[in-house]
Chain A
Amino acid sequence: MTVQPLRNFDAFVEVTPDAGENERRPAEVAVSIRGLRRSYGHNQVLRGVNLDLNDGEFVAIVGRSGCGKSTLLRLLVGLEQPSEGEIEFGDNIDPSSQSGSIRIMFQEPRLLPWASVLANVEVGLGRAVTASDRERAIATLREVGLEERRADWPSVLSGGQKQRVALARALVSYPRLLAFDEPLGALDALTRISMQRLVERVWLDQRFTAIMVTHDVAEAVALADRVLMIEDGQITVDHRIFLPRPRERGSAEVAALEGRILRELLRNGQPA
């Protein structure tokens, strides 16, 4: 196996982190991944991934389709088992699915069509619902701005509203690790931006560790503390972003960073 050197952009970043930024980022490790491999038959999708996610960090993973980024996410949330390697979780994350400390938001909302909006959110609790649970589910719906729609069927909601219900379902158990598998990919541009703001707001509020797979570099730069690039089943770029929040789309710094990451993505995709 050839280990590719990790390219780091940190040297290029004009904005230097101030003390406050560092304080906000606790250094405890939430997830530690060592030598992770996953293959389907002869097809090696992940070829030895090593990665530490710090507690409360927002990490975006970019890469071309089929590079293994979604597979990494599915391994992380326990939807699939690794062929080799280990994933260890920090003390405040209980990897059993009943505990609700790890949640994933899919590309599709995946709401139960036969359950009301509120009942769909309650699915996220992962247990029989008590009165205080119901209060919590309603409060979470309020947080995503859909409290009045709680009695509706999902089929009458718009695409963006459905994803907001899915977000509420993921949040209701107060997860410590929330994985996003391109949940905004199917939304129109405006809905997408308002969803990104919502995701950022709840993340700032609850400070879970967030890991988002996306092929939209602008989205990665808008949201993440750290952008990883996966190419050919390995992490080839690990890049920290210290821009202050909320980040202004189209500002010079954001645009420059976006351009740099995009170039890197494209350059490595060219056949040598």
Chain B
Amino acid sequence: MKFLTAVGDRSKALTQWALPVGIIAVWEALSLGGIIPARVLPAPTAVVAAGWHATVSGELPRNMWVSFWRAFVGLVIGGGIGFAFGLANGLSQRSDRIFDSTLQMVRNVPHLALIPLVILWFGIDEEAKIFLVALGVFFPMYINTQHGIRSVDPQLIEMGRTYGMSASTLFRRVILPGALPSIFVGLRYALGIMWLTLIVAETIAASSGIGYMAMQAREFLLVDVVVMSILIYALLGKAADSVARLLERWCLAWHPAFQAAESAAR
């Protein structure tokens, strides 16, 4: 039985990869056969080679690090502020009355529309990218944190009160854990917006980073480097999401959804 499920797991993992591997194989074959010209789309092997050269020269690691750092700092600042506002407005009616409608108004401005203004303010320095990323991740974190706190079961809060929990204990043991599933939804959504914002910002106004690398390669018609940059973005995005999922699984082990996943994995 155990053996059968192990085989089942392996075939499940294989199915997951069958499609991307198949696409790459077909792509390679079409490129080799000359059906897709290298100027339009270079062969996967050419892209890998470009990645190898850029890694050896140090250009790729440097630019990846720059992009990662921007994304991370923007996420910490914007996500942190969003989380704080979400807590405040979720917990306090007064805070909600003061801030919420204004924040909702600002939310309706697409943050990427601010790029010209941001360039005027910050030039193409780091602040510009970090500001845009922070603004982009602010709203998903804010809305989901606020929603999570609002939707904590009031019966549990009442229980906490009758059992003599102080306000801080109530927050730590009942409200925050109850809001956590929703906060994680916000985090994963924020991660998506984080990369999207960074790509746009780096291609428009930057002198380093993966987006800059792609734009520079375009100038010299280095299609393989352009494709490689796009794939690097995909990998970084997937990596960030996997980290968030891992965190989620670890923090929400009590959640029935994750227990089901766990027993299925077993």
Chain A contact residues, CB within 8 Å of chain B: 77-79, 96-100, 103-104, 106, 108, 110, 112-115, 123-124, 126-127, 153-156, 169
Asked if B168 is an interface residue, CB under 8 A from chain A, the answer is no
**A155→B173 contact, CB < 8 A:** no
Which 9 pairs between the two chains have the least Cβ-Cβ distance?
A97-B164, A126-B164, A98-B164, A110-B159, A114-B177, A114-B254, A153-B254, A155-B256, A110-B155
Contact of A155 with B155 at beta-carbon distance under 8 Å, contacts A97-B164, A112-B174 already known: no
Asked if B163 is an interface residue, CB under 8 A from chain A, the answer is yes
- Chain B residues positioned under 8 Å from A96 (CB to CB): 164
Asked if B255 is an interface residue, CB under 8 A from chain A, the answer is yes
Nearest-CB distance from B124 to chain A (Å)? 45
**A79→B158 contact, CB < 8 A:** yes
**A112→B259 contact, CB < 8 A:** no
Asked if B16 is an interface residue, CB under 8 A from chain A, the answer is no
Which residue, of B159, B173, B180, has the highest number of chain A Cβ atoms within 10 A?
A: B159
Q: CB-nearest residue of chain B relative to A102? A: B162
- Chain B residues positioned under 8 Å from A98 (CB to CB): 164
**A126→B163 contact, CB < 8 A:** yes
Asked if B161 is an interface residue, CB under 8 A from chain A, the answer is yes
Separation of A113 and B255 alpha carbons in the complex (Å): 7
- Chain A residues positioned under 8 Å from B252 (CB to CB): 114
User: What 0/1 pattern do residues 151 to 176 of B give for CB contact below 8 A with A?
Assistant: 00001101111111100000001100
Nearest-CB distance from B164 to chain A (Å)? 4
**A77→B254 contact, CB < 8 A:** no
**B173→A104 contact, CB < 8 A:** no
**Set A97, A108, A127: member contacting B161, Cβ < 8 A:** A97
**B259→A104 contact, CB < 8 A:** no
**Set A97, A103, A112, A156: member contacting B173, Cβ < 8 A:** A112
Q: CB-nearest residue of chain B relative to A100? A: B164
Separation of A154 and B259 alpha carbons in the complex (Å): 12
Nearest-CB distance from B158 to chain A (Å)? 7
**Set A79, A112, A154: member contacting B162, Cβ < 8 A:** A79
Separation of A79 and B161 alpha carbons in the complex (Å): 8
Contact of A153 with B177 at beta-carbon distance under 8 Å, contacts A100-B164, A108-B155, A123-B163 already known: no
Nearest-CB distance from A235 to chain B (Å)? 24
Contact of A156 with B161 at beta-carbon distance under 8 Å, contacts A113-B254, A114-B177, A114-B254 already known: no
User: What 0/1 pattern do residues 108 to 124 of B give for CB contact below 8 A with A?
Assistant: 00000000000000000
User: What 0/1 pattern do residues 237 to 254 of B give for CB contact below 8 A with A?
Assistant: 000000000000000111
- Chain B residues positioned under 8 Å from A78 (CB to CB): 162
Nearest-CB distance from B176 to chain A (Å)? 10
Separation of A103 and B254 alpha carbons in the complex (Å): 26
Separation of A114 and B180 alpha carbons in the complex (Å): 10
Nearest-CB distance from B117 to chain A (Å)? 43
- Chain B residues positioned under 8 Å from A110 (CB to CB): 155-156, 158-159
- Chain B residues positioned under 8 Å from A99 (CB to CB): 164
Separation of A110 and B252 alpha carbons in the complex (Å): 18
Separation of A127 and B173 alpha carbons in the complex (Å): 12
Separation of A155 and B260 alpha carbons in the complex (Å): 11
